[in-house]
């Protein structure tokens, strides 16, 4: 009678990768260090994860969230996870693997487990174990060449880096050191010296700090007093200058010529319609909050400033704080606190809204088309913290001073530019004929008068709109 033998405890087997097709696994071997070096640590780690998620033909449809928290079974039956990677790191690693040809996207298809379509990919390469070499990555030849051609980081490699600038022609070296008396050559230029040679000008003449200059009269020195005695004084120069206005050799250039930019004036060419002749309407500065007003008016002004800045950024209608009573809003207390801070620092709400939108688009968010929250724009802490930044850099964005031209003024500038181009290109001798063709009769004077009246009307309209709280500084 045989006793029953004790059953051996079964351990869970390690999940091994299936035998891969030879055309997917490849035959070109690389060392682990070399593969990690060319692919990068993140791409190499992602490639190891993908090897556990593919079938025999190299197909896989694993998603990004699965790769973030990826675990495998070890020989002892425990779940061991790889080094955790964020979604951003996985995206960059996928881009590098696709650039090398290790991973190839094939198609989108729907599965029962996922609500959205997933990408089906082919993963090339294999990480097999040998008797002597250990774990050895292998790739197909084309993929191996793609890995070798991947751009790597900097280093002193031959031919890498920016090409050096070609050296120019050799320039004479100029010494900046001071010369002493003994270093100067005496004698006249071009006359033979005592040695029988010719004295030549020394091309290097440095600063001379002594009180004398080289000369041949007194042994190589000439006192400074002799040179200064021959220099005329200021009184002598003023007495020799003729009285009265001096004639100018160039014609006066006051910007009233045919080009309007400083050319000599012409009697037949009208004056350039610049701001000296027609002062355009200027956008007024945004009004500040009235300290004696009610808190509801403060909140309304802040809401108007936010809507104007949002519409100027997106080009769409903004409906923030337009429905219902603003006092019943959950942000009413924050608006009132921000209004008190703006009154304390004498900052107009419209200018602060324009500055905050610029900061949001340039420094805070990458999506520049999405407006910032109203609680961030009119936050009391931001007003106290960034008031210096606003006055130094951002005050000009919403403080007015922008010129607004009328229709007649624009038409006058365009017609004047066409006349100026005609005079320059054709080089017409009959200047009066060209001017008469563009401005017949008293057309120029009438257009100037109409432009002045339009500028006054536009200026009055801008002041009224700014006083009523309309946003004009986008």
Q: CA-to-CA distance for 346 and 395, rounded, in angstroms? A: 12
Residue 221 resides in a domain: no
Share of the chain above pLDDT 70, in %: 63
pLDDT at 83: 79
**What share of the chain has pLDDT > 90, as a percent?**
17
Q: What is the mean pLDDT of residues 425-454?
A: 86
Among 370, 399, 428, give the residue marking a domain's end. 399
Mean pLDDT of the residues in the chain: 73
Residue 286 has pLDDT above 70, yes or no: yes
Q: Which domain holds residue 348?
A: 286-399
pLDDT-derived band of residue 294, with 50, 70 and 90 as boundaries? very high
pLDDT tens digit string along 50-107?
888 888 888 888 888 888 877 665 555 555 667 788 888 999 999 999 999 999 988 8
Least confident of 4-8, 116-120, 225-229, 267-271: 225-229
Domain end point (choices 148, 172, 195): 148
- pTM, two decimals, is 0.39
45, 144: one domain: yes
Residues 383 and 293 occupy one common structural domain: yes
Tell whether 442 and 362 lie within a shared domain: no
User: Burial level of 455, CB count in 10 A (0-12/13-18/19+)?
Assistant: buried
- The mean-pLDDT minimum among 122-136, 235-249, 270-284, 306-320 falls in 235-249
**Within a 13 Å sphere around the CA of 274, how many CA atoms are in the beta-carbon half?**
12
466 with 377, same domain?
Answer: no
Instruction: Give me the pLDDT at residue 69, please.
Output: 73
* Each residue's pLDDT tens digit, 178-196: 444 444 444 444 444 444 4
Q: Are residues 368 and 437 in the same domain?
A: no
Tally the domains of the chain: 3
Residues 56 and 122 in one domain: yes
Same domain, 413 and 324: no
Same domain membership, residue 276 and residue 320: no
The better pLDDT of the pair 235, 266 is held by 266
247 belongs to a structural domain: no
CA dist., res. 57 & res. 19, Å (int): 9
Judgement on whether residues 345 and 425 belong to the same structural domain of the protein: no
C-alpha to C-alpha distance for 248 and 300, rounded to whole angstroms: 63
> Would you say how long the chain is, in residues?
474
Q: Is residue 154 part of a domain?
A: no
Q: Does residue 417 form part of some domain?
A: yes
Asked whether the predicted pLDDT for residue 199 surpasses 50, the reply is: no
- pLDDT given for residue 449 in this prediction: 93
In a domain, 178, yes or no: no
Q: Please indicate, yes or no, if residue 196 is contained in any of the structural domains.
A: no
Shared domain check, 386 and 324: yes
Residue 14 or 249, more confident? 14
Torsion from C-alpha of 269, 274, 278, 284, nearest 10 degrees: 170
Same structural domain for residues 295 and 433? no
Rounded CA separation 278/181 (Å):
66
CB environment 421-442: b (16+ within 10 A), e (fewer): ebbeeeeeeeeeebbeebbeee
pLDDT in tens, 231-247: 444 344 444 444 444 43
- The per-residue DSSP string of 430-458 comes to -HHHHHHHHS-TTHHHHHHHHHHHHHHHH
Residue 343 covered by a domain? yes
Residue ending a domain, among 399, 415, 439, is 399
**Residue 47 in tokens:** 């490639």
Give just the sign of the alpha carbon dihedral 431, 435, 441, 447. negative
Question: Considering the domain boundaries, does residue 420 fall inside one?
Answer: yes
Q: Which helix (H) or strand (E) is 212 found in, with range?
A: strand 212-213
Residues 78, 96 contacting (CB under 8 angstroms): no
Please, what is the angle between helix 41-51 and helix 87-100, to 10°? 90
Q: How far apart are CA 19 and CA 454, in angstroms?
A: 84
Report d(CA 281, CA 451) in Å as an integer.
10
Regarding whether 133 and 35 lie in a shared domain, the answer is yes
pLDDT level of residue 334 (50, 70, 90 thresholds): very high
Q: Is the pLDDT of residue 225 over 50?
A: no
């Amino acid at each position: 009678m045989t006793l029953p033998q004790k059953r051996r405890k079964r351990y869970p087997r390690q999940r091994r990768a299936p035998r891969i097709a030879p055309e997917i696994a490849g035959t070109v071997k690389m060392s682990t260090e070399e593969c990690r070096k060319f692919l990068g640590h993140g791409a190499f780690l992602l490639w190891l994860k993908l090897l556990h998620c593919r079938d025999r033909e190299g197909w896989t449809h694993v998603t990004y969230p699965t790769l973030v928290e990826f675990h495998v079974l070890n020989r002892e039956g425990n779940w061991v996870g790889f080094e955790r990677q964020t979604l951003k790191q996985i995206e960059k690693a996928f881009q590098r693997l696709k650039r090398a040809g290790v991973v190839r996207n094939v198609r989108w298809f729907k599965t029962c487990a996922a609500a959205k379509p997933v990408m089906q990919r082919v993963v090339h390469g294999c990480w097999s174990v040998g008797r002597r070499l250990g774990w050895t990555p292998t790739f197909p030849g084309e993929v191996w060449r793609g890995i070798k051609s991947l751009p790597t980081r900097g280093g002193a490699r031959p031919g890498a880096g920016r090409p050096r600038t070609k050296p120019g022609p050799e320039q004479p070296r100029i010494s900046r050191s001071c010369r002493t008396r003994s270093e100067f050559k005496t004698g006249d230029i071009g006359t033979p010296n005592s040695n029988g040679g010719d004295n030549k000008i020394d091309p290097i003449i440095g600063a001379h700090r002594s009180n004398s200059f080289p000369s041949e009269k007194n042994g190589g020195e000439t006192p400074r007093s002799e040179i200064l005695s021959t220099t005329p004084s200021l009184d002598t120069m003023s007495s020799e200058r003729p009285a009265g206005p001096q004639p100018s050799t160039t014609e006066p250039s006051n910007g009233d010529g045919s080009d309007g930019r400083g050319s000599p004036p012409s009697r037949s060419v009208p004056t350039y319609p610049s701001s000296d002749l027609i002062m355009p309407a200027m956008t007024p500065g945004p009004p500040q909050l009235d300290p004696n007003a009610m808190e509801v008016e403060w909140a309304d002004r802040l809401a108007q400033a936010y809507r104007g800045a949002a519409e100027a950024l997106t080009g769409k209608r903004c409906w923030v704080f337009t429905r219902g009573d603003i006092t019943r809003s959950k942000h009413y207390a924050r608006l009132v606190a921000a209004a008190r801070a703006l009154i304390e620092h004498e900052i107009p709400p419209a200018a602060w809204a324009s500055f905050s939108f610029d900061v949001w688009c340039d420094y805070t968010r990458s999506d520049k088309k999405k407006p910032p929250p109203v609680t961030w724009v009119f936050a009391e802490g931001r007003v106290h913290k960034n008031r210096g930044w606003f006055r130094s850099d951002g005050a000009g964005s919403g403080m007015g001073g922008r010129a607004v031209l009328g229709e007649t003024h624009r038409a006058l500038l365009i017609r004047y530019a066409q006349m100026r181009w005609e005079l320059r290109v054709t080089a017409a001798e009959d200047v009066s004929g060209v001017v008469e063709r563009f401005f017949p009769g008293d057309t120029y004077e009438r257009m100037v008068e109409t432009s002045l009246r339009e500028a006054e009307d536009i200026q009055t309209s801008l002041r009224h709109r700014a006083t009523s709280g309309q946003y004009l500084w986008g």
